[in-house]
Structure 1
Amino acid sequence: MTSSSVDLTTAQRLVAAAHAEAQRRAVTVSAAVVDSGGHLVAFARMDGAEIAGPVLAVDKAYTAVANSTATAELGVLAAPGGELFGLQANGGGRFVIFGGGIPLRAGGVIVGGVGVSGASAADDVACAEAAVAAFG
């Protein structure tokens, strides 16, 4: 990993960690890691995972980086009456406001993001958290 972004070796390790957690939970997911600019670094879809996962996993990771917060938190902020209401209608349609995307921080700086999609929001979040833990 460089000081400003996530490298390929690290990103692949994080995808593997997310998939390992999915296997432990007996679910199938897609997992993606983006760099500090929101560009895809690594991605893998487990056999049998849903077809929407490849788009949603990447966009969850992108959203987490672009908004400097977990996508689960954005769901609350973007709800009617929330301070970011309507956020999901921005970002060229890429902003995802349900769980599974988490920014990656090193030294207090966002260096990338992880996104997981394909199971329940709770399972997606747990798999993304496993990737973040592997990053730490």
Structure 2
Amino acid sequence: MLTYQTVSLDDARRIIDAGIAKAEEIDSPSNIAVVDTGGNLVAHVRMDGSQLGSIEHSIDKARTSMFFRKPTGDLAEDSRPGGPLWGIALSGYGTVIVFAGGLPLAVDGRIVGAIGVSGGTGEEDTVIARAAVARL
């Protein structure tokens, strides 16, 4: 029998609150999503003033990070034409996203979920995601 740990709703709320605080600090209204180990949405928030088009991006970044167990920005270089992951962004019915801002959530070295942040530049999204992950 397999057992696993996954992020809880309480965890997701703490993570999102930390993300909101960092987004406000750097003035980057964002969408922040947290998924469990199955890539299922646990919680999402769209901050006032954030881009509507970024709602799905934040969720897709979190799912992509969970499914590939790495930051979404790390997938970008390998997914360029001729790269080992060329075409990856066309998989998953268009939900695989390689923009920066998705990070795995780990406890004691085990991935328990992922976060996706979208609304600013890739750098801003990553800064917010890192601050949120630190709260776990």
What TM-score does the superposition give when structure 1 sets the normalisation length? 0.95
Superposed, 1:87-106 pairs within 5 Å as 87-106=88-107
Superposed, 1:1-136 pairs within 5 Å as 4-135=5-136
- Cα distance between partner residues in 2 of 1:91 and 1:106: 27
Unaligned runs of 5+ in 1: none
| Aligned-partner residue type, residue 117 of structure 2 | V
| Aligned-partner residue type, residue 75 of structure 1 | A
Aligned residues: 134
- 1:114 match: secondary structure: strand
- Cα distance between partner residues in 2 of 1:80 and 1:6: 35
For residue 107 of structure 1, report the CA deviation from its aligned partner.
2.2
Q: Deviations over 1:62-87 (max 9, x none)?
A: 00001111000011111112211110
For residue 3 of structure 1, report the CA deviation from its aligned partner.
5.2
- Cα distance between partner residues in 2 of 1:80 and 1:54: 27
Once superposed, which parts of structure 1, at least 4 consecutive aligned residues long, lie more than 3 Å away?
A: none
For residue 19 of structure 1, report the CA deviation from its aligned partner.
1.1
- 1:9 match: secondary structure: helix
Q: Deviations over 1:31-90 (max 9, x none)?
A: 010000000001111001000121010110000001111000011111112211110000
What TM-score does the superposition give when structure 2 sets the normalisation length? 0.95
Unaligned runs of 5+ in 2: none
Aligned residues with identical type, % of pairs: 40
- Please identify, of 44-53 and 102-111, the stretch whose mean Cα deviation from structure 2 is larger: 102-111
